[in-house]
Structure 1
């Protein structure tokens, strides 16, 4: 395999026009920022951020729904990244309720097994985390356990981005983690260059090189630059589990409107574990009222340093928007590595 420098040199030789590619994975952004990879790229080649952080795209209405569950005296179990994401009336960290950080859904079930109180797991994530939640639901957890499903599916968001044409994208670097589970068959329907990439600097550079080659050839397909982890069909067993328990639903993404078929809700036969139905919780749309530009960052239209709040009013200690909270959030990543405007 060629070294990173050799791939970068080849990119400089090949890129002869403006090309913009979007990645849809917070781990890709972390690797790019950590290694200073953008500084190696030709000036005409841009890689921009998309909606690749599941915590970042969780809308305020779903955070508010979790706070409503706190008001109902539920024990809330969630990933640590979600604690400080602001809702309209504070965050889970500041709410004063019984909120516990867990490493996964199985730990939330263990809490429910040791108490008579209602335990709700705030179930966020793309197709990477949904199968483990589905497998847990199939084990028939205790009756005092339920989930607030905040899951999202990546391909419908990509379709929305392509239909809008806002960022003038030439192709996508597909999320390696999601594709490990889902494969890349369903992405083949999109008429743009796409590459599945891993998370080392060389993986990302190779993915960019393969994208550039497609653009230069005037063709489009899905290339796999991460064959050590990803196959076309993905993890068939995990996909079967996911769709045995969940079904697609129309949901809002933070920074996006309602995207048809982009969420996952529990099927009717499992609705006893659906916290929305169990407690009469409604996801409400919340209009944006701050100068935060997380919505534009998530759509590839801006970088974190374009925001007037970045590193000033908004920091990891005092986040205004979700992209400054999660370890997969672009703003927190840029703040951590002191990235400059790219």
Structure 2
């Protein structure tokens, strides 16, 4: 199959691993400390563990798992708002399936559904639009969640609802952006990073120049990558070559899919429908400036926050006691060192942000055998 088999070729992988080893030796990886490379996207994290790349690369390379899972970083207070809306009489609340189990302070959407709320899983906001057409006597709310990858489809659905004057349709907007949390992580004094493997799907929408600040302002290389093993190995090699050569650039390994300037239709829809929130809270990371989107005034009729009187209120870091998601996302510990990993926090009963979604780092460790026993840290150390 084109664009799949050639990116899983064992001979090509072996050649890339040899090249990675040579360049890692040239830059002295592991002599003082490992080279820390963050894969921003949760899909990359799972690919790394699925194919065992963490075990195959040079011992002087350490992957740091970024906050690239929008379900994982959703704060509990916003889940509480979802439940509040869903439990209103006459409401059909629609959501992607991976958001159903995200715990709030009272309950998850799955628990609210079990308690009688009309909550339905959909594959796209277009499904929610169709429900609104078929149920004019009901209020249909779509839970708009995700990075720039899913933001355009929600924007286009709002535009369509406006054209049809579907007054019983609205969106509870929790769309977030990728560049801002990267900047926040780079500003974190605890963070030690040497380069990035950039997200592929997000970059299909926003292009590669959104990451220029990483190289320009912080002197770190970033390579936008695909999701097959050859993609990731080639991207790691490109990052290492930049470090060896003393360069800091934005490179595009995933050029077969990612255009330099992104998708103009998607970007136009985003610009038309959304504006930046001054601040938005990320579970495990706290509030980050201008990292969330809200619906513009011209489309307020389709804003569930406006329709149901749910104002955005900044919430403190509300991780359950003992969870160390923030420490994992900033590279201070590995998931298996969290006090709750595999004990109170498992995929079927997630507590922490990174175990909730199938793309979370903790879920990757659990699923693909990355659960090598590491010393557990105390909650006090995890919070430092």
TM-score interval, smaller chain: over 0.9
Structure 2 counterpart of 1:244, from 266, 272, 283? 272
The residue number in structure 2 matching 1:84 is 101
Structure 1 counterpart of 2:18, from 9, 12, 20? 9
CA distance in 2, matches of 1:233, 1:166: 32
CA distance in 2, matches of 1:189, 1:91: 37
CA shift digits 1:132-172 (9 cap, x unpaired): 11111111251111111111110111111111142210111
Structure 2 counterpart of 1:100, from 120, 123, 129? 120
The residue number in structure 1 matching 2:152 is 131
The offset of 1:333, in angstroms, is 1.9
The residue number in structure 1 matching 2:355 is 324
CA distance in 2, matches of 1:76, 1:166: 40
CA distance in 1, matches of 2:319, 2:259: 40
Structure 1 residue 158 corresponds to structure 2 residue 168: no
SS in structure 2 opposite 1:134?
helix
SS in structure 2 opposite 1:49?
strand
Structure 1 counterpart of 2:306, from 259, 270, 277? 277
Structure 2 counterpart of 1:71, from 76, 87, 90? 87
CA distance in 2, matches of 1:301, 1:178: 26
User: Residue 21 of structure 2 contacts residue 58 of structure 2 at CA under 8 Å; is this kept in 1?
Assistant: yes
The offset of 1:325, in angstroms, is 2.2
Task: State the aligned residue count.
Answer: 342
The residue number in structure 1 matching 2:282 is 253
User: Residue 320 of structure 2 contacts residue 351 of structure 2 at CA under 8 Å; is this kept in 1?
Assistant: no
Structure 2 counterpart of 1:122, from 143, 168, 176? 143
SS in structure 1 opposite 2:344?
coil
Q: Which moved more, 1:207-216 or 1:253-262?
A: 253-262
SS in structure 2 opposite 1:3?
helix
Structure 1 residue 147 corresponds to structure 2 residue 171: yes
Structure 1 residue 181 corresponds to structure 2 residue 205: yes
The offset of 1:257, in angstroms, is 2.2
CA distance in 1, matches of 2:334, 2:156: 38
User: Residue 283 of structure 2 contacts residue 319 of structure 2 at CA under 8 Å; is this kept in 1?
Assistant: no
SS in structure 2 opposite 1:135?
helix
SS in structure 1 opposite 2:153?
helix
CA shift digits 1:201-231 (9 cap, x unpaired): 1100100000001111111001111110012
Structure 2 counterpart of 1:33, from 42, 49, 57? 49
Q: Which moved more, 1:84-93 or 1:189-198?
A: 189-198
User: Residue 248 of structure 1 contacts residue 262 of structure 1 at CA under 8 Å; is this kept in 2?
Assistant: yes
The offset of 1:66, in angstroms, is 0.3
CA shift digits 1:255-275 (9 cap, x unpaired): 122211111111100011111
The offset of 1:71, in angstroms, is 2.9
The offset of 1:64, in angstroms, is 0.7
RCO higher in 1 or 2 (8 Å CA, sep ≥ 6)?
1
The residue number in structure 2 matching 1:311 is 342
The residue number in structure 2 matching 1:229 is 257
Q: Which moved more, 1:68-77 or 1:271-280?
A: 68-77
User: Residue 207 of structure 2 contacts residue 262 of structure 2 at CA under 8 Å; is this kept in 1?
Assistant: yes
Greater C-alpha radius of gyration: 2
CA shift digits 1:47-103 (9 cap, x unpaired): 111110010011111101101112323221001100011000010000121111000
The residue number in structure 2 matching 1:113 is 133
Structure 1 residue 62 corresponds to structure 2 residue 83: no
User: Residue 65 of structure 1 contacts residue 282 of structure 1 at CA under 8 Å; is this kept in 2?
Assistant: no
CA shift digits 1:18-45 (9 cap, x unpaired): 3101111111011111011111111111
